[in-house]
């Protein structure tokens, strides 16, 4: 059954069922802008979701490399989390990082039974990224590291350790009833069948190009590259489906003295961009723009200060789905900003994999210190193959979205988060990406009789 625009909201407490233990804008909005100095040529028209005429639109997403200062900060925060989780998986962690010229500042609230060498963890991550000498603009061997860590607030801990439901009714036999959400807020998960990874194509390609840019640098294939870099991909959509690549923008830090026209730009096009252009959509007229400002020698924290949590759209769906505003890195999974965002991606991916919708977005919201979500909403954008209310009913039956149940189902107390902190948290494979599992699609179909 298809509707023109299906959206189901429930404002009641989410009640776990028999699940195992525990500004999506609709069709992508167009863009008609172009950078100064970039030659003009015919573009897809600028339209919005409400346009009654054209269904041909442009949608753009960006990514950054692990050497981008904001991503450095994310990786440092998650490296500290991983180091603590290796010894104390029950730790409460909220770790923020600032990187700037020659300096790293680590701050936050951490309650743990173990001790880790934060100074060494910070330096190791910076060196692994590739900032290992003054020539790079930042040196993990010699940079200053300042640490200002306190414990988690006892007021917060009391509410999270013993959820409101338990405080009102007494001890519960259900092991998932005790842990309250670490904060209030709303989180979104999204999936689309436009790629094998069930991710939007623009952010998927932007991530893979950023990842490849780092790979050719570290392997020595393009030896004059430096760690900082950004990618951006614009796709042409017709009736909500990607049909062509319109523009690729890539800016990369490089060694001084490199000829941009005869060396850098041809190398980037040959070794990074062209190998990743998909074969099943039109790329014949793709416009490739490399280092449009000219030279990019000064980069990393020496050029721009970086902070944990400033790349939340890069981390998720590239703007194709809405975002609740909370960052992921440096947070243990009692913080639903992280764990519930992972869980809603897991749910959305299983909905699409089950064939119940071609595209869907799920919102969940929590109150601090309360185990059960305060609301759950499903948006299927008119692509559903079953009644959206029945799909949502199946979600409530198959998935337990209380924090402790999410942590258990997705094994979120194991280290490995630093790997997630660059090139996107979604649409990837590996042991840490448990939320990418397609393991409940059949249960969902059975729950709604599909």
Cα(351)–Cα(197) distance, integer angstroms? 14
- Here the tokens at position 213 are 């840019």
The active-site residue, picked from 27, 62, 66, 70, is 70
Residue 397 is among the residues annotated as catalytic for this protein: no
- Here the tokens at position 236 are 């042409």
Bridge-based pairing of strands 103-111 and 144-150 is: parallel
The active-site residue, picked from 59, 138, 296, 328, is 296
The active-site residue, picked from 62, 78, 88, 96, is 96
Residue 267 is among the residues annotated as catalytic for this protein: no
The active-site residue, picked from 304, 411, 419, 439, is 304
Residue 296 is among the residues annotated as catalytic for this protein: yes
The active-site residue, picked from 34, 218, 310, 428, is 310
The active-site residue, picked from 71, 204, 323, 402, is 71
The active-site residue, picked from 157, 303, 305, 446, is 305
The active-site residue, picked from 34, 56, 109, 303, is 109
Residue 405 is among the residues annotated as catalytic for this protein: no
The active-site residue, picked from 315, 337, 361, 397, is 337
List the beta strands (DSSP E) in 48-176: 56-64, 92-100, 103-111, 132-133, 138-139, 144-150
Residue 109 is among the residues annotated as catalytic for this protein: yes
The active-site residue, picked from 14, 68, 123, 208, is 68
Cα(366)–Cα(14) distance, integer angstroms? 10
The active-site residue, picked from 335, 338, 349, 396, is 335
Residue 404 is among the residues annotated as catalytic for this protein: no
* Partners of 288 in beta bridges: 248
Residue 419 is among the residues annotated as catalytic for this protein: no
- Here the tokens at position 253 are 């830090």
Which secondary structure element, helix H or strand E, spans residue 191, and what is its range?
A: strand 185-192
Q: Which of 345, 76, 64 is nearest to 232 (CA)?
A: 64
Residue 304 is among the residues annotated as catalytic for this protein: yes
The active-site residue, picked from 204, 311, 396, 402, is 311
Q: What are the Cα distances from residue 145, in Å, to 119, 121, 435?
A: 6, 11, 34
Residue 141 is among the residues annotated as catalytic for this protein: no
Cα(367)–Cα(375) distance, integer angstroms? 10
Residue 117 is among the residues annotated as catalytic for this protein: no
Q: What are the Cα distances from residue 62, in Å, to 134, 141, 271, 293, 343?
A: 28, 31, 19, 17, 24
Residue 310 is among the residues annotated as catalytic for this protein: yes
Residue 168 is among the residues annotated as catalytic for this protein: no
The active-site residue, picked from 123, 125, 217, 230, is 230
- Residues with catalytic roles: 68, 70-71, 96, 109, 230, 296, 304-305, 310-311, 331, 335, 337
């Amino acid at each position: 059954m298809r509707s023109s625009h299906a959206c189901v909201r429930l404002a009641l407490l989410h009640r776990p069922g028999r699940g195992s233990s525990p500004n999506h804008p609709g069709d992508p909005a167009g863009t008609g802008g172009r950078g100064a100095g970039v030659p003009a040529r015919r573009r897809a028209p600028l339209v919005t979701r409400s346009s009654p005429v054209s269904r041909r639109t442009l949608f753009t997403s960006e990514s950054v490399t692990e050497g981008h200062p904001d991503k450095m900060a994310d990786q440092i925060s998650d490296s500290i989390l991983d180091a603590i989780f290796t010894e104390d998986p029950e730790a409460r962690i909220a770790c923020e990082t600032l990187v700037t010229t020659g300096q790293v500042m680590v701050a936050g609230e951490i309650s743990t039974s173990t001790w880790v060498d934060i100074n060494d963890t910070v330096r190791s991550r910076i060196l692994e990224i590739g900032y290992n000498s003054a020539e790079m603009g930042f040196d993990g061997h010699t940079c200053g590291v300042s640490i200002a860590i306190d414990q988690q607030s006892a007021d917060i801990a009391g509410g999270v350790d013993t959820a409101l439901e338990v405080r009102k009714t007494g001890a519960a036999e259900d092991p998932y009833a005790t842990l309250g959400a670490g904060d209030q807020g709303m989180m979104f998960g999204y999936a689309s069948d436009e790629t094998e990874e069930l991710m939007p194509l623009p952010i998927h390609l932007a991530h893979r190009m950023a990842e490849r840019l780092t790979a050719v640098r570290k392997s020595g294939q393009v030896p004059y590259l430096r760690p900082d870099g950004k990618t951006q991909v614009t796709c042409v959509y017709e009736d909500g489906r990607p049909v062509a690549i319109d523009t690729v923008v890539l800016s990369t830090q490089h060694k001084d003295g490199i000829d941009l026209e005869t060396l850098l730009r041809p190398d980037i096009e040959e070794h990074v961009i062209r190998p990743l252009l998909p074969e099943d959509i039109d790329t014949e007229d793709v416009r490739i723009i490399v280092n449009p400002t000219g030279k990019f020698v000064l980069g990393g924290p020496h050029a721009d200060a970086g902070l944990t949590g400033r790349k939340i759209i890069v981390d998720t769906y590239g703007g194709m789905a809405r975002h609740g505003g909370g960052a992921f890195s440096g947070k243990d999974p009692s913080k639903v900003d992280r764990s519930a965002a992972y869980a809603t991606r897991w749910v959305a991916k299983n909905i699409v994999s089950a064939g119940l919708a071609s595209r869907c977005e799920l919102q969940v919201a929590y109150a601090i210190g309360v185990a059960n979500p305060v609301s759950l909403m499903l948006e299927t954008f008119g692509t559903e193959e079953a009644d959206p209310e029945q799909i949502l009913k199946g979600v409530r039956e198959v998935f337990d979205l209380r924090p402790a149940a999410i942590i258990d189902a997705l094994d979120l107390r194991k280290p490995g988060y630093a790997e997630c902190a660059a090139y996107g948290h979604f649409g990837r494979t590996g042991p840490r990406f448990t939320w990418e599992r397609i393991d409940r699609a059949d249960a969902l179909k059975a729950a709604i009789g599909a």
